[in-house]
Chain A
Amino acid sequence: MNSYDLSALLIVILPILSFTVLGLFGNRFSNRTSGLIGCASLVTTAILALYVAAGYFFDFGLVNGEHVKHIALQFQWLKFTDSLSIDLGIVLDPISVMMLLVITIVSSMVHIYSLGYMKGEDYFERYYAYLSLFSFSMLGLVVAVNIFQMYIFWELVGVSSFLLIGFYFTKPSAIAAAKKAFIVTRFADLGFLIGILMLSYNTKSLDFFTIIDRLTQVGSPYLANFTATSFMGMSALSWALLLVFMGGAGKSAMFPLHIWLPDAMEGPTPVSALIHAATMVVAGVFLVARLFPVFAISAPDALLIIAYIGAFTALFAAVIACTQTDIKRVLAYSTISQIAYMMFALGVAGWGEGKMEGFTASMFHLFTHAFFKALLFLGAGAVIHAVHTNEMEGMGGLRKSLPITHFTFLIACLAIAGVPPFAGFFSKEAILSSALQTQPLIFYVGLFTSGLTAFYMFRLYFRIFWYNPVPEHSHNHETHTWAMNIPLIILGVGAAFAGLIPFGSFVSADGKALELPFHLTFSIAPVAVGLIGIGIAYLLYGKKNEIPDKIASAVSGFYQAAYHKFYIDEIYLFITKKVLFNLVGRPAAWFDRTVVNGLFINGSAETAVATSNAIKPMQSGRLQSYTMFFLGGVLLLAALLIIKFM
């Protein structure tokens, strides 16, 4: 085990160590100590991740100019048959190393930021324990060697996000949001599990790379078997992969499983930055990327469905984001929209020379998005910390009182709007150009969405920092400590410059370096659309005026529908409460009460009581009646013996 492997192991182990320490002994430490323990562990992992990434991308991972996968650790954990076993381990390949970087950096920033943001909150040490648990699960997920290992950590991620969303457990809305997030993602994970079972049944393996090998090689008997059966025009393999994608869609909040993410904003804001912007919600994208060769080579039809779901979700969420007034909800819908961008970028990609650009573009956007979206959430947290409300109504004109927040927030908005030379520009260009090559329809949807993105982000920006005149004697001073400002600045640097990384030479579907095409003529359209969006936002929200209300009332039907999130929640409630409850819940309850409880449980108890009452008088306490039975028995036996042997 060389130093890189050891570091990779430590990256996964350190957070679970700090979780254990804080979880068991946290209440004996002062808040400051427990916060520092959490920060120290995560900052160390971030440094180790940088070390491993440098080693992987430039040294040991590079073989003949290609990035190959490297198994740092693997051991058998649970063995079913000779070929089928659940292994635990750590695999280093371009996407997992990239994810290690993103997760540890954002997580350590959030840990540091929380020192300031959560100061004085109750259960401070528990908060840090949960954050560490979450980081551990997420890191374990991305380095998984085995699809079942991924599933285990996938569920751990779900649990820790449940704990974090419901952190303010005295607020009923937070509890409801936590439950909703857990149930929706858990429901989606059912599909994931069935998909895993189908894949492992047909390939006789749970190992990621064995599955990929067996399902991509031409003439592989496993592949032939798997695709032989078909259902509704798609092969069994496509269905299995779509079921796996269902799990990913649940975590990544793809339509129609997106409903949990906006409500999850009930959690503390740094948690939203960590979980619902940079790490957990990209788990679905990561899952599709992990199985990308199978999708691209053997099931392009499933990949096409993913592309269309992604494109639709991107547009759908962007429209809703334009109408929301809670700043965190705007960011939540923006996240859904951006994750959907990554999803359809994967969907439009294919396998073969010149078609794999979408894969790299998707991972690139994942990388840059992590920086600017985490920054946006942390900035929104700083604003909320200062004005004590989530609603836009209480904001406006904050640019003087929150200068650092204002500046970094602006960088993030420019980055997400795709203005050059900020990070989002490069990744978004790559996505759009790969979409244009294969699916022009998706390209136009993506282009329009990108304009909407610029609009709603700058609506948010102007609404927070301009709109109202700067108050003369503001009491909203930037009282934030270094703990809150330093992460903003570091992430701001990332959001500004992360796009300049030649990402294609590090991460690609087959490990070979890939030059992301960059055409000046191509990028005119997206940038122009973005700038138009910003311009409209300035006209409408640069200063307080009547135009937005007029526009809203002019298209009031559509506006109301978008404001109410197109009534998706109501549809879900209707389906679950009215349809499922009446058709399934009530009969099941009746069956439970009368048959299971009435007939089986109470019935057997009553039978026992009746029998006992019937034979109880035999136990009379009279010696001579016992003897009578005894004598009767002896005589009977004697009679039997006599009959038998006479």
Chain B
Amino acid sequence: MEQVPLSHILILSSTLFFLGVYGFFSRRNLITMLMSVELILNSVNINFIAFNKYLFPHQLEGIFFTMFIIVVAAAEVSISIAIIINLYRRFKTIDIEDTTTMKY
């Protein structure tokens, strides 16, 4: 069976990554920004899996890293959501442009 070449997968993951970065910078809604961060993390995961599969098929480090990232990302999301809820209670909004009181 013909394999998908590695460069295709890398193009996919960089596209995902830059979509995430673009989303993080262009969105004003904190939830959307959180989703963008998840996109970035997942693009990294794809990279890990791809390199593991194509370069070192007899080892499992890349897969383990991916597992860890998924777990950590889950934890991170829960904390982020908690922060966002607190932010909402205080400002009655989750628009990032309106919550700039923590400065000099």
Counting contact residues on chain B (CB < 8 A from A), the size range is: 10 to 19
A417 to B96, CA, bound (A): 102
List the B residue with the shortest CB-CB distance to A621.
Answer: B103
Contact B101 A621 (CB under 8 A): yes
Apart from A621-B101, A628-B25, 18 more pairs, CB < 8 Å: A616-B104, A617-B104, A619-B103, A619-B104, A620-B100, A620-B104, A621-B100, A621-B102, A621-B103, A622-B96, A622-B97, A622-B100, A623-B96, A624-B24, A624-B25, A624-B96, A627-B25, A631-B21
Q: Which residues of A contact B102 (CB under 8 A)?
A: 621
Nearest Cβ distance between residue B55 and chain A, in whole angstroms? Answer: 18
Known contacts A627-B24, A628-B25; A620 and B96 CB within 8 A of each other? no
Nearest Cβ distance between residue B20 and chain A, in whole angstroms? Answer: 12
List the A residue with the shortest CB-CB distance to B26.
Answer: A624
Contact B103 A620 (CB under 8 A): yes
A177-200 near B? 1/0 per residue, CB < 8 Å:
000000000000000000000000
List the A residue with the shortest CB-CB distance to B24.
Answer: A627
Q: Which residues of B contact A628 (CB under 8 A)?
A: 25
A631 to B104, CA, bound (A): 22
A residues 622-646 near B (Cβ < 8 Å) are 622-624, 627-628, 631
A620 to B101, CA, bound (A): 9
Q: Which residues of A contact B24 (CB under 8 A)?
A: 624, 627
A616 to B104, CA, bound (A): 7
Q: Which residues of A contact B96 (CB under 8 A)?
A: 622-624
A sample of 10 cross-chain residue pairs with beta-carbon separation below 8 angstroms, ordered by A number, consists of A620-B100, A620-B104, A621-B100, A621-B103, A622-B97, A623-B96, A624-B24, A624-B96, A628-B25, A631-B21
A619 to B25, CA, bound (A): 18
B residues 1-53 near A (Cβ < 8 Å) are 21, 24-25
Nearest Cβ distance between residue A634 and chain B, in whole angstroms? Answer: 10
List the B residue with the shortest CB-CB distance to A631.
Answer: B21
Q: Which residues of B contact A617 (CB under 8 A)?
A: 104
Q: Which residues of B contact A620 (CB under 8 A)?
A: 100, 103-104
A627 to B97, CA, bound (A): 14
A622 to B24, CA, bound (A): 13
Q: Which residues of A contact B103 (CB under 8 A)?
A: 619-621
Nearest Cβ distance between residue B81 and chain A, in whole angstroms? Answer: 16
A617 to B103, CA, bound (A): 9
Nearest Cβ distance between residue A633 and chain B, in whole angstroms? Answer: 14
Q: Which residues of B contact A624 (CB under 8 A)?
A: 24-25, 96
Q: Which residues of B contact A616 (CB under 8 A)?
A: 104
Q: Which residues of A contact B97 (CB under 8 A)?
A: 622
B residues 58-104 near A (Cβ < 8 Å) are 96-97, 100-104
Nearest Cβ distance between residue B37 and chain A, in whole angstroms? Answer: 10
Nearest Cβ distance between residue A617 and chain B, in whole angstroms? Answer: 8
Nearest Cβ distance between residue A403 and chain B, in whole angstroms? Answer: 88
List the A residue with the shortest CB-CB distance to B96.
Answer: A623
Nearest Cβ distance between residue A621 and chain B, in whole angstroms? Answer: 3
Q: Which residues of B contact A619 (CB under 8 A)?
A: 103-104
Q: Which residues of B contact A622 (CB under 8 A)?
A: 96-97, 100
Nearest Cβ distance between residue A64 and chain B, in whole angstroms? Answer: 88
Nearest Cβ distance between residue B29 and chain A, in whole angstroms? Answer: 12
A580-599 near B? 1/0 per residue, CB < 8 Å:
00000000000000000000
A532 to B52, CA, bound (A): 125
A639 to B42, CA, bound (A): 23
Q: Which residues of B contact A621 (CB under 8 A)?
A: 100-103
A627 to B37, CA, bound (A): 12
Question: Closest 7 A-B residue pairs measured CB to CB?
Answer: A621-B103, A621-B100, A619-B104, A616-B104, A621-B102, A622-B100, A619-B103
A619 to B99, CA, bound (A): 14
List the B residue with the shortest CB-CB distance to A628.
Answer: B25
Q: Which residues of B contact A623 (CB under 8 A)?
A: 96
Q: Which residues of A contact B100 (CB under 8 A)?
A: 620-622
Q: Which of B25, B97, B102, B104 has the most CB of A within 10 A?
A: B104
Q: Which residues of B contact A631 (CB under 8 A)?
A: 21
A619 to B102, CA, bound (A): 9
Q: Which residues of B contact A627 (CB under 8 A)?
A: 24-25
A590-622 near B? 1/0 per residue, CB < 8 Å:
000000000000000000000000001101111
A78-116 near B? 1/0 per residue, CB < 8 Å:
000000000000000000000000000000000000000
Q: Which of A619, A620, A624, A627 has the most CB of B within 10 A?
A: A624
A617 to B101, CA, bound (A): 13
A623 to B101, CA, bound (A): 11
Nearest Cβ distance between residue A631 and chain B, in whole angstroms? Answer: 7
A624 to B25, CA, bound (A): 6
Nearest Cβ distance between residue A278 and chain B, in whole angstroms? Answer: 71
Nearest Cβ distance between residue B44 and chain A, in whole angstroms? Answer: 13
Nearest Cβ distance between residue A632 and chain B, in whole angstroms? Answer: 12
Nearest Cβ distance between residue A623 and chain B, in whole angstroms? Answer: 6
A627 to B30, CA, bound (A): 14
A616 to B24, CA, bound (A): 24
List the B residue with the shortest CB-CB distance to A623.
Answer: B96
A473-496 near B? 1/0 per residue, CB < 8 Å:
000000000000000000000000
Nearest Cβ distance between residue B7 and chain A, in whole angstroms? Answer: 18
Nearest Cβ distance between residue A243 and chain B, in whole angstroms? Answer: 61
Nearest Cβ distance between residue B2 and chain A, in whole angstroms? Answer: 32
A311 to B24, CA, bound (A): 98
